[in-house]
Structure 1
Amino acid sequence: MLLRQMKYFVSVVDCNSFTEAAEQNYISQSAISQQIQALEKDLGVPLIIRRNRRFSLTPAGEYFYNHCKGILVEVEDLRRETVQLGKDSELQLRIGYLRCYSGQELHEALAEFSQTYPEVSIHIINGTHEELYDHLRFGTVDLVLTDQRRAFSDEYVNYQLLKCGCYVELSTHNRLSSQEYVTLKDLRSTPCILISSREQQNVEEDYYKNTLGFGGNFLFAENLEEGRLMAVGNRGFLPVESVGTLPPEGPAIHRLPIYRNGKQILRNYCVFWRKEQTNYYIEEFTNILHRLLKPIE
């Protein structure tokens, strides 16, 4: 029994026609009929009951058809993965992550992946949500770790990692630092420090103001370290999210949860990649990261 014969058989059933199946597979009708007959002879049972130009499946044919479809999908996946792993370009993994990300698990996942797959070259970039989305859209990264700001698209694998709590980091000299939590209303009189490139400042401000509901003034830092130093200097508060284990606050910083309507604000964090670019390394790295993070509730 050959995979080609299985493919011909599935085509005949899907098309409900020997003629259309033959055209679809670029062979003659007589050739596809001979292949189905050879398949039946090899199995020792009839699969198709022929009635002039029509046909129906025997119980064995129904069973064989249903299982053939799954096997053919697996074979095609195996073929595609083998081809991808055989290409030099596949021996690298390009990862994008949010510029404001500070969890320790990403570092641990990178270390574990590198130890397990030393043959894979890892390239890392960071950026704002929109910058990462553009990198993914134009194929300059393989996957991105970022927050969900859009409805999920069928063009991408939308691998949900966890819903994480939103916090603010602010100076111990700030009057709000003695509270158990802060609300968006509490924060309106304190500038909000956002981590963003100069080009994306308007986009980030618009999202935090109009989607998340942050009011007041906005300040910007190029990176997380600069943002934390601004918070230590009591210039404003820095929004952070608990995507895994956050580093210690430090003696001059308090980290407080942000509440809205009596509950802590939660954000959805995911790994995204293009479905057509799926490969073993992307899936393996994502599985490692997911294992190291707390699973989604």
Structure 2
Amino acid sequence: MSHPTIRGSLVALITPFHEDGSVNFEKLGELIDFHLAHETDALVILGTTGESSTMSHEEDDAVCEFTVKRVAGRIPVICGSGSNSTETMLEKSLSFERLGADGLLLITPYYNKTNEEGMYLHFKTVADAVKIPCILYNVPGRTGCSISEANVARLSKHPNIIGIKEASGNISYAAKIARYLSPDFAMYSGNDDMIVPMLSLGASGVISVLANIAPRETHKMVMDFLEGDVAAAREAQLRLLEVTNNLFIEVNPVPVKEALNLMGKAVGGYRLPLTRMSEAHRETLAASMRAAGFIH
């Protein structure tokens, strides 16, 4: 089946929590409205930045259902259904499809890892079972394993796999898999400090942490490049680089949640083992946000 390619800024949305650690749905609704009003091109929920690794399946379903209803078809909603267990990833994927998700983000099997054929079947099993499009997620720094170039070549031909979020930070690897891009298989930068370099290799956009605090700027950076204004895109990439780097001064999503709190968004804290960042890092982050005009 054919699925249109999403172009632009796809925000890797945080999950806001109350003080007791429960999901703050009122705040989630405010964040969704913020992105709808500031040119975000798609929402990617329940990924690394969404802290899904510490959430229950029931909470995941509730966040998916709420988000789909709040967005009401205005932009795509892509749900992270990944797991190191293929069966669990399948169950979550089918559940999100029933709840109205527009697409799925599928991560490599972390901890247990796998061999080449197991990696291929991990993704193929889900892509065969659902009707909504799937995006592969390659982030070896988190998972301890990577999708080989050969498997990207195989999976790019699956009619229900429409792209890959490439977050290895390895531009050589990105160039190799870029050879398999087509109208039916897109690449998205998974690193905010490499948006323009990835676009230069043929990426269609970014799945972005930065877009949580700078949705309009991130959208514009991508669209400027795609529409031919490379100089403007490069200027934005470099101008926002210090803030981008400081959003990863500690493990994601700790800094970006702190950044949103500094902006007055009141998104709450984290679930253990994540916890509040050091005061020194908080000051470094705040200084770069002030310099970039995000806070006063």
TM-score range, shorter chain: under 0.3
TM score, norm. by length of structure 1:
0.22
Higher strand share: 1
Q: Tell me which structure has the larger Cα radius of gyration.
A: 1
TM score, norm. by length of structure 2:
0.22
* Greater relative CO, 1 or 2 (CA 8 Å, sep 6+): 1
